[in-house]
Amino acid sequence: MQVLQVQLEVGADPAEVGRARRWARSRLAGSGIRLDEPLAETLILLISELVTNAVVHTGCPAVLRMLFGPVGGPADGGTVRVEVADTSACAPKPRHADGDDTNGRGLELVDGLADRWGWQPEGKGKSIWCEVDRCCDGGAPERTGGAFEPGAYEPSCAVTNRA
């Protein structure tokens, strides 16, 4: 099984989120995912949310990684994994936004769009990851629904949702 991994170092400036999106679009196109596919749009939105969370909530630089590769047999379209690692050891704190709140929706959005997501310690910091399954017919992957539960995460252990 061959897996392609690409990564980008992201500075601690919120303006870096736009650069991360542009970089990710070019890597998606290079991996054979058309930019007009729903899969590409979903991945760009997930990347935007995870990089924004890392930069805004930690104030630290981060590393964005995308991994492209098959997961199962030939009938499987494969999976795209997005990881954002930062140097903050603080666990992600999912919140629930109400009404006109201007933030607090990021991890809920990740939970609703990704097939699986979680976080794990990495070095002195952590890595938050999500995976989106590719369809072999080129269509949008079927979503399995959310398992988001605010406050359900322990900072001392890795957590996986919808494993």
Residues 64-108 have pLDDT tens digits of 999 997 645 334 568 999 999 999 988 887 777 677 766 667 788
Q: What is the pLDDT of residue 25?
A: 95
Query: How distant is the alpha carbon of residue 94 from its chain centre?
Result: 14
| Domain 4-161: assigned CATH number | 3.30.565.10
Residue bearing tokens 């736009």: 18
Tell me the pairing of strands 62-69 and 79-86: antiparallel
Cβ proximity of 66 and 80 under 8 Å: yes
Distance CA 135, CA 149 (A): 28
Query: Rounded to whole angstroms, how far apart are CA atoms 43 and 80?
Result: 8
pTM: 0.78
Q: Determine contact, residues 124/161, Cβ cutoff 8 Å.
A: no
pLDDT tens per residue across span 31-77: 889 999 999 999 999 999 999 999 988 889 999 999 997 645 334 56
| pLDDT value of position 102 | 62
